[in-house]
Amino acid sequence: MKVIEVDKFLTSLVDKKWPDEGVLFGQAETEVKGILVTWMPTPEALSLAIKRKCNLIICHEELLFPYLKDMLPAGELKTLPDWVANHKRLEIIQKNNLCVIRSHYRADQKFNVDELARTMGLPEPIEQNFIARIYKIDHITVRNFAEQVKEKLKIDKLKIIGNLNFSIRRLGIAIGGMCLGVCLNFIESNYVGKCDTVLAGEADEYAQFYAKESKLNLIITGHASMENIGLKAMARFLKKQFSSIPVVFFENKLPGKYI
């Protein structure tokens, strides 16, 4: 199995491959010895790949900083800034001859949204469009549903915008960063007027004011916390598909502490 064959297989699972996805680093014809799946290819994730003899990294978020509002096509990394954080990652990758594939919307479409819904015990969606989903809920309060989210995602804290005692009837999922200020067209077109509550990964303060004024309850879990579940399922899926190749999952945890 070659790196390019893994990339083509990932594309075969979904409707389309987005411009920022594909082989970001390394030779496409490299023989795959092992795969590490991770949300972000941090130095810690890369170190585990080396330890477990995985020469292919499949990441969900971008390989290098900064995050680009207008997605940079795979293969144009040379236009990124010369930053210390980028040097650290590239040093590890180059020294150990690692290859990197980004699976962004492919992972969202095939794994992240629906695996989150399954984990939360949600019914089949009553509406869906690409990565947007709306579910009919049997009158659980925002507070009680949020407690279930914390338990299922194994997180200590989340943030709520809205009424804790509101009885949810229609719930939307804004996977990962789809509730950030730069993505509010997604929320406006898919959820406003159609559901009363949105389960979101990441929402900046701009988006939080938008949710309040749009009469949406917002349950904010954290970007990586929301998507790690789907990426772990992706690793299990690839392990079954490529039974002769070791597949490892690395869970990114948000750095820092609350005081």
In the chain, what are the domain boundaries? Answer: 3-103+226-250, 108-220
Q: Is the pLDDT of residue 150 over 70?
A: yes
The reported pLDDT for the residue numbered 69 is: 58
Specify the fold of 3-103+226-250: 3.40.1390
Q: How many whole angstroms separate alpha carbon 77 and alpha carbon 84?
A: 15
* 66 preceded by a cis bond (ω within 30 of 0): yes
The reported pLDDT for the residue numbered 159 is: 97
Specify the fold of 108-220: 3.40.1390
Q: How many whole angstroms separate alpha carbon 5 and alpha carbon 225?
A: 29
The reported pLDDT for the residue numbered 81 is: 77
Sign of the CA dihedral with 152 first, then 157, 158, and 161 last = positive
Q: Is the pLDDT of residue 128 over 90?
A: yes
- Report the predicted TM-score, pTM, of the whole model to 2 decimal places: 0.94
The tens digit of pLDDT for each residue in 54-108 reads 999 999 999 999 877 566 777 676 677 788 999 999 999 999 999 999 999 999 9
Give φ, ψ of 133 to 5 degrees: -140, 145
Residue with tokens 């943030």: 159
- Fold: same for 3-103+226-250 and 108-220: yes
